[in-house]
Amino acid sequence: MGALIEARGLTKRFDSFVAVAGIDVDVFRGEVFGFLGPNGAGKSSTMRMIGCVSPVSSGTLRVLGMDPAVDGPRIRARLGVCPQENWLDEELTVRENLLIYGRYFGLPRRTLADRAAELLAFVQLTDKADAQVADLSGGMKRRLTIARALVNEPEIMLLDEPTTGLDPQARHLVWDRLIQLRQEGVTLVLTTHYMDEAEQLCDRLVVMDGGTIVAEGSPLDLIRAHATREVVELRFVAGRQQALAAEVADLADRVEVLPDRVLLYTQDGDAAANAVHQRGLSPPGILVRRSSLEDVFLRLTGRTLVD
């Protein structure tokens, strides 16, 4: 079984600026694939090429076995796109937004009426069906955009930052729906700059930075390969980090100094934390946690990913 999405040396240039610098990606049927990266990494540019709305500058791209440059409309007929901005019509009602979008796919009105009702129930917007989109909250608009992307029963769903800007409750609702879609066999491709989102949802992901892929694998693989099992976070008074980092360097496999804290990467966090106390350093804040993709990213790019 070949890949649903297959990119080789995929490149996007805007004049002389290189937004995506020759990436290789394979996405297989039924998996949840993530592009993780900070602002400007080239995530949306990649998604737009896969979505067949942005021409490939160089390299090859096959989506559903077809070439976007030749079969754009035929590919797009089988994709569901949830763009970074919603692109909803705020003056139309929730239901009208679904119906008209379905018409772009040439679906008959009767089919659409039923499907709109199902999709509104799926994203829990049934009671808002006749409300104007302008009156919806950010989370509701995002759910409507997801419902809209499903109107043509797509094989692949492209979600560009599906939960950015949503409150925790709204995020979890979106995650639930995405997990359910995955169980129904829809292939999901998403971008995010949230580590926890990537860890929760993605079977496989690539970490992007400056238009290139700096690592790829499952969330667990990435953590194993690029971080230790546990991390001790020490919060010191600002300005003292460097000096103190030297004093604790031998307690960890690796030490990372950030503006507001020192991170100790170690297999046994509690032991390292105890050792810090025994040396009488007693930082004002100390936290032992499992390592996360955040640490992987820090390791790979030397930067934190928080907004």
Partner 1 sequence: MDTALRALEYWLLSYKRTWRGTIVSSFLVPFLYLAAMGFGLGSFINAGAGRAALGGQTYLQFIAPGLLAATAMQTAAFESSYPVMGSWKWIKTYYAMLATPLRVSDVLIGHLLFVAFRVLMTSMVYLVVITVFGAVSSPWGVLAIVAGLLTGLSVATPTFALAVRSERDTVFSMYFRFAILPMFLFSGAFFPVSQLPVVVQPIAYATPLWHGVHLARMFTEGTLSPGWIAVNVGYLCLWIAAGTWWAARAFRRRLVT
Ligand X SMILES: Nc1ncnc2c1ncn2[C@@H]1O[C@H](COP(=O)(O)OP(=O)(O)OP(=O)(O)O)[C@@H](O)[C@H]1O
Residue numbers at the binding site for ligand X (CB under 6 A): 14, 17, 19, 37, 39-45, 84, 193
From the list ligand X, Mg ion, partner 1, none, pick the one residue 54 interacts with, judged by a Cβ distance below 5 to 8 Å according to partner type.
partner 1
Give the number of other CB atoms < 10 A from CB of residue 147.
26
Give phi and psi for 226, each to the nearest 5: -120, 0
From the list partner 1, Mg ion, ligand X, none, pick the one residue 83 interacts with, judged by a Cβ distance below 5 to 8 Å according to partner type.
partner 1
- Site for partner 1 (CB under 8 A): which residue of 74, 279, 289, 290? 74
- Site for partner 1 (CB under 8 A): which residue of 18, 24, 105, 129? 105
Binding string, residues 34-73; x marks residues near Mg ion by CB under 5 A:
---------xx-----------------------------
Is 83 a binding residue for partner 1 by CB under 8 A? The answer is yes
Is 26 a binding residue for partner 1 by CB under 8 A? The answer is no
Is 302 a binding residue for partner 1 by CB under 8 A? The answer is no
Q: Which residues have CB under 8 Å from 145's CB, separation 6+?
A: 82, 83, 86, 87, 88
Length of the chain: 307
* H or E, element range at 109: helix 109-122
The residue among 50 and 63 lying less far from ligand X, judged by its C-beta, is 50
From the list Mg ion, partner 1, ligand X, none, pick the one residue 62 interacts with, judged by a Cβ distance below 5 to 8 Å according to partner type.
none
Choices 67-75, 243-251, 263-271, 287-295; region in contact with partner 1 by CB under 8 A? 67-75
Q: Which residues have CB under 8 Å from 266's CB, separation 6+?
A: 228, 229, 230, 231, 232, 251, 252, 253, 272
Q: Which residues have CB under 8 Å from 264's CB, separation 6+?
A: 231, 232, 233, 234, 248, 251, 252, 254, 255, 272, 276
Reading the block at residue 249, the tokens are 């360097």
Reading the block at residue 32, the tokens are 């949840």
CA atoms of 77 and 229, how far apart (whole Å): 44
Reading the block at residue 64, the tokens are 């559903």
Q: Which residues have CB under 8 Å from 87's CB, separation 6+?
A: 145
The residue among 39 and 282 lying less far from ligand X, judged by its C-beta, is 39
- Site for partner 1 (CB under 8 A): which residue of 88, 156, 252, 264? 88
From the list ligand X, Mg ion, partner 1, none, pick the one residue 19 interacts with, judged by a Cβ distance below 5 to 8 Å according to partner type.
ligand X
The residue among 106 and 284 lying less far from partner 1, judged by its C-beta, is 106
Sign of dihedral through CA atoms 210, 212, 218, 224?
A: negative
Give phi and psi for 298, each to the nearest 5: -60, -45
Binding string, residues 69-88; x marks residues near Mg ion by CB under 5 A:
---------------x----
Residues numbered 4-23 forming contacts with partner 1, rule: CB under 8 A: 14
Q: Which residues bind Mg ion (CB under 5 A)?
A: 43-44, 84
Positions that interact with partner 1 (CB under 8 A):
14, 51, 53-55, 72-74, 76-77, 79, 81, 83, 85, 87-92, 96, 100-101, 103-106, 152
